[in-house]
Amino acid sequence: MADLKEIIARRVARELKDGDVVNLGIGLPTMVANFLPEGVNIVLQSENGIMGMGPAAEPGKEDVDIINAGAQYVTVNPGAMFFDSATSFGIIRGGHVDATILGALEVDQVGNLANWIVPGKMVPGMGGAMDLVVGAKKVIVAMLHTQKGKHKILDSCTLPYTAINVVDMIVTEMGVMEVTPEGIVLTEINEDYTVEQVQEATQCKLIISPSLKKMEY
């Protein structure tokens, strides 16, 4: 089996369309840009004030003045723009980001998202996630299905919310799920798993799509 995180990143990349303005969260979501289908070019936006961000900088070739919102050294593509945070968040809040791809600690059956804090632990903070999930046209959660055997897709989130009723799609190594008013619908399944295994790894009751298909990545 391929690397689980790579499977997720490859499948998420298939959701993006040529010309999309996309914001990638830290961690696993940053891998998505490496697996864009041929002919699909996206514009990466970073909430600290970059439009047209490129790949991570190679070791030894970092420009100390160019970092993403996670303080990682990155590159920029020809034509990239730099602007202040007020402008950046105006772009986000104004609905100009086509998709945001985020990791999550927990997601629940109505699309509530918890991805910024575990009580009692030191964390860097919410960053731009709260704005992105309400401003972006599509919110995709890219994450491993469970955490050390514990459910992450729940009846109801137990951790503090980032935002409520915002998640549109969940992509894990097991499959693709869409959040609907009726609940979470399993629309694609990784052929390495059974429906029963996916349900066992999910706390809330999944709705199995009548047109369930193989997960392509």
CATH number at residue 165: 3.40.1080.10
pTM summary value:
0.94
The pLDDT tens digits for 102-154 are: 999 999 999 999 999 877 776 666 778 999 999 999 999 999 999 999 999 99
How far is Cα 190 from Cα 192, in angstroms, rounded to an integer?
5
Greater model confidence, 101 or 34: 101
State which residues form the domain around 14. 4-214
Check pLDDT > 60 for residue 1.
no
Check pLDDT > 60 for residue 208.
yes
Q: What's the mean pLDDT in 91-105? A: 96
pLDDT value, residue 190:
98
Of the candidates 47, 106, 173, 188, the residue annotated as catalytic is 47
Summary mean pLDDT of the chain: 94
What total of structural domains would you count in the chain? 1
Would you call 80 exposed, middle or buried from its count of C-beta atoms within 10 A (0-12, 13-18, 19+)? middle
How far is Cα 184 from Cα 39, in angstroms, rounded to an integer?
31
Identify residue 68 by its one-letter amino acid code: N
Catalytic residue flag (residue 200): no
Which positions ≥6 away from 129 have C-beta within 8 Å? 25, 102, 115, 116, 162, 163
Beta strand 150-151 with 175-180 is: unpaired
Task: Give the position of tokens 């030894």.
Answer: 60
Note whether 139 and 168 are within 8 A (CB): yes
